[in-house]
Amino acid sequence: MSQSYCTLQVAQELFGCAPPELDETQRLRVAEVTQRRLEIERRVLASEEGRAVCVPEATLQHAVDEVRARYADAAEFSTALAHIGLDEASLRQGLQRQLAVDAVLEKISAESEAISELDVELFFRLNSERFTAPERRRARHVLVTINEEFAENRREAALARIQQAANELRTLSFENVAQRYSECPTAVNGGMLGELRRNQLYPELDAVLFDLDVGETSDVVESPMGFHLLRCEAIFSALHENLEQAAPRIREHLRSKQVQQRQKAWLEGLAADDLPMNVSNNKEIGYGKLKQ
């Protein structure tokens, strides 16, 4: 039954669905990755470290309870398991195996060397661009396009509509006006453009947006696309982290890379000479989530 549980995991991770919903191409891909994962798990659990692992009953029960809690009642839980070829006993078996493998990989990770202050500083000096960010503005807009081929979008008509939209801002929220008037796909989200750096918009729009205060709405602005109203929702100042500020994130990043490399090397070391074990893509086969 471990294979059924593993197949379920792989199907969800690769394609976001249960095995019965896979098409033929997806089914073959899932079967391939599942066999590779099961072979790695077998070797992990047969290793000296794997044989020493014991999953506490309380830990296993907690994992089962977490799965069961996703369903309204026991009947729905049983039906869902049956749909994917499992029952509670096989679910427990699969979870127990997964927890045991995780425990082994965590033990291997714990043996990684400590990240030194020199490692952190070198990374900071060699990757300084990662710790700076330009000023950003969160913005919304209303767009009425200019298109002389359509009467309602000829220049005069488009200008009249955007001016009407601007007038309605006296009584309606910007989001409502965008939904009513804007011809940009962002209209469905109240005209939200998101967080923008300089030079991501047309120059005419860029200059106006980065001159607005928080909560301020522009006058009508023209770009090659048409007429706009811009609103500044928030301002995020330029970021310049120093070494002290960046150190925790650098340490976490270096630790993750180190753990990944150690796990990969250890897994490759389990391979028998007559049966090479490819773990070059350990994210795909389920061990990309680093154990720390």
What are 69-92's pLDDT values in tens digits? 988 888 888 898 888 888 889 999
CATH code for the domain in which residue 152 is found: 3.10.50.40
In this structure, is residue 128 part of a structural domain? Answer: no
Residues 181 and 274 in one domain: no
pLDDT at 57 > cutoff 70: yes
- 47 with 105, same domain: the answer is yes
Tell the residue number behind the tokens 């120059």, with chain if given: 203
Both 61 and 111 in one domain: the answer is: yes
Give percent above pLDDT 90 in the chain: 62
**Residue 249 pLDDT grade (very low, low, confident, very high; cuts 50, 70, 90):** very high
Do 29 and 106 lie in one domain? The reply is: yes
Task: Evaluate whether residue 186 is within a structural domain.
Answer: yes
Confidence (pLDDT) at 59: 94
pLDDT of res. 267: 86
Residues 186-209, buried b or exposed e (16+ Cβ, 10 A)?
bbeebbbbeebeeeebeeebbebb
Instruction: Name residue 142's beta-bridge partners.
Output: 229
Residue range 168-191: mean pLDDT, rounded: 95
Q: What is the pTM of this model?
A: 0.54
* Cα gap 259→49, rounded to integer Å: 17
| Domain-located, residue 248 | no
In terms of Cα–Cα distance, which of 143, 147, 213, 212 is closest to 178? 143
- pLDDT in the model for residue 286: 53
- Regarding whether 259 and 228 lie in a shared domain, the answer is no
The CATH number of whichever domain residue 35 belongs to comes to 1.10.4030
Q: Are residues 143 and 220 in the same domain?
A: yes
Domain that residue 281 falls in: 2-115+255-287
My answer on whether 78 and 106 are in the same domain is yes
The number of domains in the chain is 2
For residue 17, what pLDDT is reported? 84
With b for 16 or more beta-carbon neighbours within 10 A and e for fewer, the 74-109 pattern comes to: eeebeeebeebbbeeebbbbbbbbbbbbbbbbeebb
pLDDT value at residue 30: 92
> Which range, 37-51, 86-100, 216-230, is most confident?
216-230
Residue 138: is its pLDDT beyond 90?
yes
Residues 108 and 25 in one domain: yes
Which residues 6+ apart lie within 8 Å of 139 measured at CB? 192, 193, 194, 196, 209, 230, 231, 232, 233
pLDDT score for 83: 86
Does 125 map to a domain? Answer: no
Instruction: Specify if 147 maps to a domain.
Output: yes
pLDDT at 277 over 50: no
Residue 209 lies in a domain: yes
3-state secondary structure of 238: coil
- pLDDT, tens digit (0-9, with 9 covering 90-100), for 86-116: 888 999 999 999 999 999 999 988 877 889 9
- What does the mean pLDDT of the chain come to? 88
Percent of the chain with pLDDT over 70: 92
88 and 9 in a common domain: yes
Q: Is residue 169 part of a domain?
A: yes
As a whole number, mean pLDDT of residues 220-231 equals 96
Q: Are residues 141 and 107 in the same domain?
A: no
pLDDT, position 156 = 95
Residue 221 and residue 263 share a domain: no
**pLDDT band for position 263 (cuts 50, 70, 90):** confident
User: Do residues 144 and 224 both lie within one domain?
Assistant: yes
Above 50 in pLDDT, residue 290? no
Specify which residues 133 forms β-bridges with: 239
Q: Decide if 292 is inside a domain.
A: no
- Reading the block at residue 152, the tokens are 């309602």
Rg (CA), the chain: 28
